[in-house]
Chain A
Amino acid sequence: MALKTEELVLNMGPQHPSTHGVLRLELELEGEVVKNVKPHLGYLHRCFEKHAEAMTYPQVIPYTDRMDYLASMYNNFGYVVAVEKLLGIQVPERVEYIRVIMGELQRIASHLVALGTYGLDIGAFTPFLYCFIDREKILNLFEITCGARLLYNYMWVGGLSHDIHPDFVRLTKEFIPYFRPRIKELNDLLTFNKIFIERTANIGVLPVDTAINYGASGPVLRGSGFRWDLRKNDPYSIYDRFDFDIPVGQGLVGTVGDCWDRYYVRVQEMEQSLRIIEQAIDNIPDGDVQSAIPKRIKPPKGMVYSRVENPKGELGYFIISDGSTSPFRVKVRAPSFVNLSVLGEMSKGHLVADVVAILGSIDIVLGEVDR
């Protein structure tokens, strides 16, 4: 006689240590094997897009800070690039260089959090703090520049809120040789650890066609082996002037597109970001960072879609202007949100512990998912 069995529904979150915020996952389990994953969103919804309609264009910038709060610089970057495109203005060289340096520093900081918390998800506590020590150094650089450590409101339409600090160039140059060996240390401690590889290789394999079908971008897409980076494929700002590589997943320890590949793409991207900073830091031209800021931002009627390569993926801003001082509509294509949609596809048939590993490898920030 067959015993009556039923699937166990386990609610993971919204309060759970490793859902990276207030995400709720409804897991249908058979034993410890996951049959289905349903993400429930919206616990952190703050109506950013609707708010933006009531604000003038510069007033929207602090709101963009609060989307992906681990990469605020880059959210500013994406927004100001979009508005500048709408206005059709050119910003001074100095501003472009500083924006790129800040953006790449922010990318390293964001990846450090991603890698550190990923270690935490797998059960290694120490790499997390090592990553945070290094992130702290980057936040110090931001702090001397604009006074803020998390939400910067630094990039303004047509310019920057502050010029860089006189010490900034020196401190950044000190940071680069300090940080390179730290990446190696992280690799020794976590990346090539046998247990870590056992936990992440061949787990949550995302084939490249599925990744494209779901619209995944950033390290999630590149981890699957597809060389797609907007800094190279659709260059904005002055990224076409720098020489850097786009790391992709190669299946070094498992299958192409597994959790380890997505993780390792981030590690390699940090090195590439250092290369960009190295090239940019010596060539910052002189000038005034606020000269191009318009007195009154009143774009002509029209619409614009502009995208940048955020640490998490393709961050797009779609802005409709009705000719007034505030946008008629702002829509954000949030990379975390789109990448999160692949979770169900990747987790089926894995264990509960793997769902945590897969979710961590997507690197979501709920502020951006829910907006």
Chain B
Amino acid sequence: MFEWLSDLTGNQILAAFISAALPVAFIVPFVIFAVWLERKVSAHMQDRLGPMRVGWHGWLQTIADFFKLIQKEDIVSSEVDKKFFNMAPYLVFIGSYAVYAALPFSNSYIGSNIDLGLFYIIAVSGLVVAGILMAGWASNNKYSLYGAMRSAAQIVSYEIPTALVILAMVMFTGTLSLAKLSDLQTSSFWNWYIFGGPDWGWSKLLVLPFMLVAFLLFYISSLAEVNRTPFDLPEAESELVAGYHTEYSGMKFAMFFLSEYGNMFAVSAIASVLFFGGYQSPIGYIGNSLGISWLVPFEQVFWFASKGIFFVFVQMWLRWTLPRVRVDQLMTLCWKYLIPYAFVNLIIIGIISLI
């Protein structure tokens, strides 16, 4: 993408700027859509209608809210540590935004097609923890601090099962590049790694159940990493009011909100790349059958976004169904169940990929 743009514009800096700005053009509309979707999903699950007044079925509601948030007073309490307090929301946003740089939206658009894509994503998403800790500490509020401490403990713990599952996938596929992972699962949904990958034979049947386990482990721990129910302890409203962003208002709060929804899509997208073929269509491309080759990348973006949004929908579904676990149960689940299972799964998938 970057090469193509620099050829087109003849200016490397401009090309870099455009390709860095493109994910924002995706994140902001996505968040606006996802917040609306969350409201609608929760409303219909709870036998209500949800927003109905602003636009058709309230689809403009989030945009109206966005303008409201921009106009709000930016309250900074006199007791806060101003430097960190102001920095934290942007750091959190950078953490979730940086992940988008390596997400393969289609085979012709990847912000940065680096070979260590998966590794990079695990690394930069760690920035979110620093931002949350900073927000909690700088707010000078006990509830915020509790939220931040919980969040740090939670994200750091749950990175381990996530990384172990990713490691298993890397051993099985032999690549860390997200684009290559997607390319491997081409042509039909039967080639997706959730169904054992593209290699036909008895090893596909053998690895299939373990791939299902790997996916479940990955999905559960990714829920915890993005602080969604049943693991939404850092912002557990019935205990900690709003957790680490209790003291934030206006646009700074909106930044936290933006990065939360951005993260939700990011983990869903990684799950779809690892197990569900990423941008690959499950049924073939209309562009190919019609002979219009420029249509294919757009279809790929469509499939990528739909798969991501499907998993975001599942996250919402869980949120409006389940209660919240307690902080010690959260750690028990991670250290006593997820990590051992992920280890065993890693070893088995490793052995299968050897033979």
Choose among A10, A120, A133, A352 the residue with the greatest number of B CB atoms under 10 Å from its CB.
A352
Cα–Cα distance between A233 and B48 once the two chains are bound (Å): 42
Known: A18-B239, A353-B327. A123 touches B320 (CB 8 A): no
Known: A130-B46, A133-B47, A190-B323. A198 touches B329 (CB 8 A): yes
**Of B233, B321, B323, B327, which contacts A122 at CB under 8 A?**
B323
Known: A121-B238, A356-B239. A351 touches B326 (CB 8 A): yes
Q: Is A301 an interface residue (CB 8 A)?
A: no
Chain A positions within 8 Å of B329 at CB level: 198-199
Cα–Cα distance between A123 and B323 once the two chains are bound (Å): 4
Chain B positions within 8 Å of A122 at CB level: 238, 323-324
A314-326 vs B, Cβ < 8 Å mask (1 yes, 0 no): 0000000000000
Interface contact B323-A124, CB-CB below 8 Å? yes
Known: A8-B142, A121-B238. A32 touches B46 (CB 8 A): no
Cα–Cα distance between A351 and B332 once the two chains are bound (Å): 15
- A337, chain B: closest CB distance, angstroms: 23
Q: What is the total of A-B residue contacts with beta carbons within 8 Å? A: 74
B-contacting residues, A2-60, CB 8 Å: 8, 10, 16-18, 32
Cα–Cα distance between A8 and B320 once the two chains are bound (Å): 33
Interface contact A123-B46, CB-CB below 8 Å? no
B-contacting residues, A323-371, CB 8 Å: 351-354, 356
Cα–Cα distance between A353 and B323 once the two chains are bound (Å): 12
Interface contact A123-B48, CB-CB below 8 Å? no
**Of B230, B233, B238, B328, which contacts A356 at CB under 8 A?**
B238
Interface size class of A (residues with CB under 8 A): 20 to 34
Interface contact B328-A123, CB-CB below 8 Å? no
Cα–Cα distance between A353 and B229 once the two chains are bound (Å): 15
Cα–Cα distance between A32 and B329 once the two chains are bound (Å): 13
- A253, chain B: closest CB distance, angstroms: 14
Chain B positions within 8 Å of A140 at CB level: none
Cα–Cα distance between A123 and B45 once the two chains are bound (Å): 16
* Chain B residue nearest in CB terms to A198: B329
Q: Is A119 an interface residue (CB 8 A)?
A: yes
Interface contact A16-B241, CB-CB below 8 Å? yes
14 contacts between A and B (CB under 8 A): A10-B142, A16-B241, A17-B241, A123-B230, A123-B322, A124-B321, A126-B321, A129-B47, A195-B325, A199-B323, A199-B329, A352-B239, A353-B236, A353-B326
Which 5 pairs of residues, A with B, have the shortest CB-CB distance? A123-B324, A124-B323, A129-B46, A18-B238, A122-B323
Binding site for B on A (CB under 8 A): 8, 10, 16-18, 32, 119-126, 129-130, 133, 189-190, 193, 195-196, 198-199, 351-354, 356
